[in-house]
Amino acid sequence: MISIIGTRPTLANGAAVPLSPGVRAGDFLFLSGQLGLDEKGKPVADDIASQTRQAIARLEAVLAQAGGRRDQIVKVNVWLTDTADFPAFNQVYAELFPARPPARSTVVSQLLIPGARVEIDAIAYLG
């Protein structure tokens, strides 16, 4: 069985984004990329640490809607806009995933939202 989790997000200009925040397929939950944005679609701060915390909090919110928790995340993909942000990102990430960090890929790339420094998507096992 496949089910959609969450409501389609909107951009700061009010345009709906054509994606599902989460898609549950059996015991797996596939979480769309989350940015360090506030409820109005603007970056919470200019620093990578704050944006990383917010992106993971947004992932957790979608997880919670499906009855899941952060410790059920098994794979993460990360996009950073600046290589220099990697040490600070990694420090926050290590705090949030201290005991059993998920498998992870990290790349440097532009992001489509102005001011966004990090995007994180995830796969969680809810079984």
pLDDT digits (tens, 9 = 90+) for 44-88: 999 999 999 999 999 999 999 999 999 999 999 999 999 999 999
Angle (CA) 44 48 49, round 5°:
85
Q: How many helices (H) and strands (E) does the chain have?
A: 2, 6
Q: At 17, which amino acid appears?
A: V
Where along the chain do its domains lie? Answer: 2-125
Quote the pLDDT of residue 60.
98
Exposed, middle or buried: residue 77 (CB in 10 Å: 0-12, 13-18, 19+)?
Answer: middle
Quote the pLDDT of residue 55.
98
Give the global pTM. Answer: 0.94
Distance CA 59, CA 30 (A): 10
Given the structure tokens 């079984």, which residue do they identify? 127
Q: Six-digit token pair at 18?
A: 């054509």
Judged against a pLDDT cut of 90, whether residue 16 lies above it is answered with no
CATH dotted code for 2-125: 3.30.1330.40
Quote the pLDDT of residue 126.
98
Judged against a pLDDT cut of 80, whether residue 118 lies above it is answered with yes
